[in-house]
């Protein structure tokens, strides 16, 4: 793949360039600021950009937002020393988020994801479906003791409000995220369905609606034994949704 590397730290940039080249990919340009990266992308038309976040003049998130407005944007992989930008990064349509110093295996895995379906391809698909559609994330980012953990939307069973956080139940356990249920519902409304003021479920894992007492219902999931209560307010909409699937 043709790759642009953008990092204002020379040693970090050189390390990424070395890993990319040793892996058989081509570095078509290097940049030290977001503004330089945009120029490099416009002139070189790369498949992927490896992008730092904390940079002078224009940071990586602002740069990514600008790149996504191009007719053929590259796939964006952030490589940064800071884990707290993950949510902003994926809202900017990043396909990867690596913490420095990113090792070769992590970088190659991220490049593999970018190669399978890069941001330009996703953008073209969305244009065909809806010319006004904004980029849609396929992951939710959570900060854990391991750093930033990316949870595939397709691996999520449900999300529930947990005080000031949201608890996400996925195939490998639970994580807490800073986003609200309302934000998740607005962004992923076609896939995450509200069954209670404190709960969203992934319709892909909905098994059946069960009556537990007169007027009381709960949803059961495929693959796990857990259940969630359904409020009367959302019961009718859920029944309609089940019948339409």
Lay out the sheet containing 227-230: strands in order across: 206-213, 216-221, 227-230
Enumerate helices (H) and strands (E) in the chain, giving the number of each: 8, 15
- At 181-229, the pLDDT tens digits run 998 998 888 889 999 999 999 999 999 999 988 889 999 999 999 999 9
Alpha carbon distance, N-terminus to C-terminus of the chain: 40
* Token pair belonging to 105: 């295996």
C-alpha distance from residue 196 to each of 163, 189, 240 (Å): 15, 14, 15
Query: What is the spatial distance between Cα 84 and Cα 55, in angstroms, rounded to a whole number?
Result: 15
Separation between Cα atoms, residue 47 and residue 67, nearest integer Å: 12
- What is the rounded distance in angstroms from the CA atom of residue 50 to the CA atom of residue 31? 10
Phi then psi dihedrals of residue 6, to 5 deg = -125, 115
Query: Which range, of 13-22, 96-105, 143-152, 233-242, averages the lowest pLDDT?
Result: 143-152
pTM: 0.52
Q: Tell me the per-residue pLDDT of 114-161, one tens digit each, with 9 for 90 and over.
A: 776 444 445 544 454 454 544 557 888 887 766 677 888 999 999 999
């Amino acid at each position: 793949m043709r790759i642009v590397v953008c990092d204002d730290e020379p040693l970090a940039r050189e390390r990424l360039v070395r890993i990319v080249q040793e892996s058989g990919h081509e570095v078509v340009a290097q940049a030290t600021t977001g503004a330089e990266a945009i120029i490099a992308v416009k002139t070189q038309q790369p498949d992927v950009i490896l992008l730092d976040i904390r940079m002078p003049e224009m940071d990586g998130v602002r740069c990514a937002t600008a790149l996504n407005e191009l007719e053929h944007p590259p796939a964006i992989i952030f490589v940064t020393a800071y884990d707290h930008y993950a949510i902003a990064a994926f809202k900017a349509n990043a396909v990867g988020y690596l913490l420095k110093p990113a090792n070769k295996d992590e970088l190659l895995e991220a490049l593999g994801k970018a190669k399978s379906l890069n941001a330009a391809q996703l953008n073209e698909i969305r244009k065909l479906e809806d010319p006004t559609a904004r980029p849609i994330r396929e992951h939710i980012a959570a900060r854990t003791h391991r750093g930033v953990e990316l949870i595939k939307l397709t691996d999520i069973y449900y999300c529930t409000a947990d005080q000031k956080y949201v608890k996400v139940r996925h195939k490998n356990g639970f994580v807490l995220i800073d986003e609200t249920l309302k934000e998740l519902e607005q962004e992923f409304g076609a896939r995450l369905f509200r069954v209670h003021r404190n709960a969203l479920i992934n319709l892909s894992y909905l098994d059946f609606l069960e009556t537990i007492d007169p007027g009381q219902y709960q949803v059961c999931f495929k693959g796990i034994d857990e259940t969630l209560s359904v409020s009367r307010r959302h019961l009718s909409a859920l029944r309609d949704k089940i019948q339409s699937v």
